[in-house]
Amino acid sequence: MAENFHTDVLIIGSGPAGYTAGVYASRAMLKPLLIQGIQPGGQLTITTDVENWPGDTMVLGPDLMIRMEDHARAVGVNVIQDHITKVDLNSRPFRSIGDRGNTYSSNSLILATGAQAKWLGLPSEDYFKGHGVSACATCDGFFFRGQDVVVVGGGNTAVEEALFLTKFASKVTLIHRRDELRADKVLQKRLLENGKIVPLWNHVLAEIEGERSPKSVSGVKVKNTRTGVEDRFACTGVFIAIGHTPSSELFVDQLASREGGYIVTEPGTTKTSIPGVFAAGDLVDSTYRQAVTSAGMGCMAALDAVKFLAETE
């Protein structure tokens, strides 16, 4: 049966931003409700080794997110399994509706719905995700020291990922379906001058090949977009760098946003264009996109909400 809830702070999202906001809001005695969404734990639940979370030399992404959830519950966050399908920000208390018909009214709202990397949609890409296929060079580049990798894409993200990977990989092949990049000229220049990067123009990634047990990438099949001719070459890592989509569809028409659908926040804060609504993590951040930066913003959002509630009530 559908239920009605009221809270001082509603947190939408259960990634590092959401759980951290929950911990801080709960410790400020605000009795927050946190809605997990259809991906409890967020993006880190689809990866394996995380080696840049402070305090853990290595932790599995899903394990880290279970620990964050346990921490949030232990300090009193009411964690609810639901997915928000509608948000009304026209007046306070804000009103959010869940998938099962539950209504959540809240005096403040923390949006932490994250983002999703764009993928090509190849079955082999899905199969090898986390086992040689990645969408984050900052996260996974370190695992490919001295190896040959490919990057797919032609925009700023792809060029930045390729340049970053040259710190570790012995060779980076940039696969791009056109014969020129969309990236900023200065990035293009750096890419073309880098001896470790080999652009493969007018090609698309057709398949990722590898071993099944243990899962590992051994090469790729590529296809020439002009001639249709297919080719194969060896590599151990594939980085898909065709962009990210912030999960902002529920609020993008109600809040100030910028290109790509990222929610805009006041610099140095998590305040959105509507007082009492705060946004954190990959939903606002197209630059850093890390667990630790998202957690940091989650903390800021909770502290901003505490201040807002103290000043308004």
Ligand X SMILES: Cc1cc2nc3c(=O)[nH]c(=O)nc-3n(C[C@H](O)[C@H](O)[C@H](O)COP(=O)(O)OP(=O)(O)OC[C@H]3O[C@@H](n4cnc5c(N)ncnc54)[C@H](O)[C@@H]3O)c2cc1C
| Binding flags for ligand X, 68-107, as an x/- string (CB under 6 A) | ---------------xx-----------------------
Residues 6 or more apart whose Cβ sits within 8 Å of residue 189: none
Please identify every residue annotated as catalytic: 136, 139-140
Contacting range for ligand X; rule: CB under 6 A; set: 110-118, 189-197, 208-216, 299-307: 110-118
**Contact 67/55 with Cβ under 8 angstroms?**
no
Beta bridge partners of 225: none
Element (H, E) at 262: strand 262-263
Binding-site member from 12, 109, 205, 240 for ligand X (CB under 6 A): 12
Binding-site member from 281, 286, 300, 306 for ligand X (CB under 6 A): 281
| Binding flags for ligand X, 144-183, as an x/- string (CB under 6 A) | ----------------------------------------
3-state secondary structure of 209: strand
Asked if 192 interacts with ligand X (CB under 6 A), we say: no
Binding-site member from 80, 270, 290, 299 for ligand X (CB under 6 A): 290
Element (H, E) at 123: helix 123-128
- Cα–Cα distances (Å) from 155 to 59, 162, 176, 309, in that order, read 31, 11, 9, 42
Least separation, in Å, of the C-beta of 37 and ligand X? 2
Asked if 30 interacts with ligand X (CB under 6 A), we say: no
**Contact 305/9 with Cβ under 8 angstroms?**
yes
Helices and strands per DSSP (H, E), number in the chain? 7, 21
Please give the residue ranges that form the binding site for ligand X (CB under 6 A): 12-18, 35-40, 42-44, 46-47, 50, 52, 83-84, 112-115, 117, 134-136, 139, 247, 250, 281-283, 289-292, 294
